[in-house]
Chain A
Amino acid sequence: MSDAFRLAAMPGNAAERTAHHPGVRLPSPPLPAAQPATLDEIETTKLPAVVADGWGRLPLFAVSAALGSLVVTLGYHGGRIEAWWADLAFWGGVLLLFLPITCRLAIAETPRQERIGLISLLGLGLYLNKILHSPLAFTFHDEFAHWRTTADILRTDHLFGANPIIPVSALYPSLHVVTAALADISGSTIFLAGVLVLAVARLLFVLALFLFFEQAGRSARIASLATLLYMANPNFSFFDAQFAYESIALPFAMFAMYAATRQQTVPDNRFGLTLAVLLAVAAVVPAHHLTAYALVAFLVLWMATAVYVRLAPSGWTGLPSVLSSQARSAIEHRGPSGIVLLALVISLAWLVYVAGLTVGYLTPVVWGGISELIRLIAGEVIARELFRDYSGQLAPIWERLAGFASVIFILLGLPFGLIRIWRRYRADSLALSLAVGALAYPASLGLRFTHFGAEASNRTSEFLFVPIAFVLAVAAAELWLHRPRSLMRPAIFASWAAIIFAGGIIVGMPRWARMPGPYLVSADTRSIEPKGIAAANWMRTEVGTGNRIAMDRINGLLMGSLGGQTTVRYSYEGLGLAWVFFPPKLGQTEIELLQSGRIQYVLVDHRLSSQLPVVGIYYEMGEPDTYGHIVPMDPAAIMKFDGVAGIQRIFDNGDIVIYDVGALTNAP
Chain B
Amino acid sequence: MRRDEPTGHSAATAAAALGTRQQSWDSGLVLACAVAMLAPLAVILGVTEPAIRLAVGFPLVALAPGYALMATTCPGPSVWGAERLALSIGTSLTVAVLTGLLLHWTPWGLQAVSWSVALGGVTLAAAACAILQRRWRAAPAGAAGTTRHAIHTATHRAPVLRLGIGSSFLLAAAALIVVGTVYLARLSTNSRTAVGFTQVWMLPAGDVPATTVRLGVSSHEQAETQYILRLDVDGSPLQTWSSIVLAPGQTWEATAAIPADDGTPMVAEARLYRADGQAMSDEDLSDRSGAYRRVMMHR
Contacts and interface: CB of A to CB of B under 8 A. Distances in A.
Nearest to B74: A272
A534 B199 contact: yes
Interface string B154-193: 1001111111101111110111011011101110111111
A45 interface: yes
Interface residues of A, number: 124
Given A70-B180, A204-B86, A653-B197, A177 B173 contact: no
B181 A73 contact: yes
A156 B80 CA distance: 40
Contact of A53 (B109, B167, B292): B167
Contact of B119 (A23, A37, A181, A663): A181
B54 A188 contact: yes
A259 to B, nearest CB: 8
Contact of A38 (B78, B91, B112): B78
Interface size class of B (residues with CB under 8 A): 35 or more
B86 A208 contact: yes
B130 to A, nearest CB: 11
Contacts of A58: 167
A281 B206 CA distance: 52
A55 B201 CA distance: 60
A543 B203 contact: yes
A118 to B, nearest CB: 12
B100 A158 contact: no
A290 interface: no
Interface stretch (B9-17, B24-32, B233-241, B278-286): B9-17
A503 interface: no
Contacts of B10: 41
A650 B82 contact: no
B75 interface: yes
B14 A44 contact: yes
A269 B75 contact: yes
B220 A180 contact: no
A49 B160 contact: yes
Contacts of A39: 78
A184 B112 contact: yes
A419 interface: no
Contact of A23 (B5, B76, B95, B216): B5
A275 B73 CA distance: 8
A323 interface: no
A101 B163 CA distance: 19
Contacts of B15: 44
Interface in A169-184: 173-174, 177-178, 180-182, 184
30 contacts: A45-B5, A49-B160, A50-B159, A51-B159, A52-B164, A53-B163, A55-B161, A66-B178, A69-B178, A128-B178, A132-B182, A135-B182, A135-B186, A177-B110, A178-B61, A184-B115, A185-B53, A185-B60, A187-B57, A188-B50, A252-B94, A275-B91, A276-B94, A279-B94, A534-B199, A538-B199, A543-B203, A649-B296, A651-B199, A652-B199
Interface of B: 1, 3-11, 14-15, 17-20, 39, 43, 48, 50, 53-54, 56-58, 60-62, 69-70, 72-83, 85-87, 89-91, 93-101, 104, 108-112, 115-116, 119, 151, 154, 157-164, 166-171, 173-175, 177-178, 180-182, 184-186, 188-193, 197-203, 216, 218, 220, 265, 292-298
Interface of A: 4, 22-25, 35-55, 58-60, 62-63, 65-67, 69-70, 73-74, 76-77, 80, 113, 116, 120, 128, 131-132, 134-136, 153, 156-160, 173-174, 177-178, 180-182, 184-188, 196-197, 200-201, 203-204, 207-208, 210-211, 248, 251-252, 255, 258-259, 262, 266-269, 271-273, 275-276, 279-280, 282-283, 286-287, 516, 529-531, 534-535, 538, 542-543, 642-655, 663
